[in-house]
Amino acid sequence: MIKYMKKLTASYRKDIETAINNTVDIEELYGKNILITGITGSVASFLVDMLLMLDETKDAGITIYGLARNESKAIKRFSYASSINIKYLIQDVCDGINLQDNVDYIIHAAGDGYPEAFRLRPVETMTPAIQGTINTLNLAKQKKVKSYIFISSGEVYGNSNVKIPDKIETNYYNSEGMSVRSCYPVAKQAAEILCVSYANEYEVPAKVVRLSHTYGPFVSEGDNRASTQFIKKAIAGDEIVLHSSGEQIRSYTYVADAAAAILTVLINGHNGEAYNVANSESKATILEFAKELSTLANVGYKQDFPSEEQYNERSPISSAILNSKKLEGLGFKASYTLKEGLRATLNALSE
């Protein structure tokens, strides 16, 4: 077998190996067909890298069906991979999915998750979560899959005036009502209800994972989240600029931990239930995130006034700490603190 994984950097390969080792009962995926939507996204692309490495190092016999809208972008992202192990479905997930082959697992990860998309393309933000979820759930029903995962967000919890230490899976608070910014969390909430509805009415083995703020070396070109912009500045050797007070507090999860958690829930999670994906040892304010990154990258940081666009794109959520105990109950344990995850990100990008 061609050792295509050698074309990846040493530090990034190490992160993939760590994620594989942290996935509970990963052997269940051997010899299976797995459909992943949105494969050029940061988390989905890492999942593909994990499965490709399993094929190479463990002779796992996994076939990946990678759904993406942009063929050239997908092929460029996985230019190192063999066409034997990954088969591309080039289409919008909002269109009907006509796949003749058998599918054992489906991971629905397609959709933009950054503020600029919410502001400029709210309709296109909502449709992959709603219509795309309907299409992938219908495919899961048709193929009688072993398991289905919808990748949701901690934003479904909304904001709360109640001071609570963290958010468990049964907590829900109000979104911002008739606000364009609500296009993302409300669509994710609707998709979650679709998952539990298909599980109850059609016995589709659907689960939901709610990602905390996930970061890593590969991100979408248009991603303008604060953490992504900080990392881009740091790797370029430029000063990190905060366009806020930085007091908002978040659970931060390195992409290797997030991917391992998703596969753990795919294999071991309970149907019709949601799981927070977070690291109890990785919580920080946006300002603390920027300070840690500036120290590791040896660059400065400063705070500045936001532009009107940046002000309009701000998240209304002041506290987004997710409780990870339910996920840990499946046997999962995260490996990367914030400092370790940021160092891994910088290493992968600098190499």
Q: Where are the domains of the chain?
A: 9-215+252-278+331-337
Cα–Cα distance for residue pair 162/169, rounded to 1 Å = 16
Question: What residues contact residue 43 under an 8 Å CB cut-off, 6+ apart?
Answer: 109, 151, 211, 214, 255, 258, 259, 262
**Of 4 and 220, more confident:** 220
Q: In this predicted structure, what is the pLDDT of residue 246?
A: 81
Res. 326: pLDDT tops 60: yes
Tell me the C-alpha distance between 130 and 190, whole Å: 7
DSSP E strand boundaries for 225-335? 240-242, 249-254, 274-277, 283-285, 301-303, 319-320
Mean residue pLDDT across the chain: 88
Secondary structure letter of residue 116 according to DSSP: H
- Which region among 44-53, 223-232, 295-304 has the lowest average model confidence (pLDDT)? 223-232
Given 3.40.50.1110, 3.40.50.300, 3.30.110.60, 3.40.50.720, which CATH number is that of 9-215+252-278+331-337? 3.40.50.720
pLDDT given for residue 9 in this prediction: 85
**Is the per-residue pLDDT at 55 higher than 60?**
yes
Quick check: 121 and 80 in contact, CB under 8 A?
no
DSSP H/E element including 153? strand 147-153
Q: How confident is the model at residue 116 (pLDDT cuts 50, 70, 90)?
A: confident
Residue 244's pLDDT is: 76
Give dist(CA 225, CA 220) in Å, integer: 11
pLDDT of 148 strictly over 70: yes
Q: What is the reported pLDDT for 208?
A: 98
Q: Average of pLDDT values for 200-228?
A: 88
> According to the model, what pLDDT value does residue 350 have?
85
- Per-residue pLDDT, 312: 54
For residue 62, pLDDT over 70 is answered with yes
Contact between residue 199 and residue 145 where contact means Cβ atoms under 8 Å apart: no
| pLDDT bracket for residue 334 (50, 70, 90) | very high
Of the listed ranges 25-29, 167-171, 181-185, 342-346, the one predicted with least confidence: 167-171
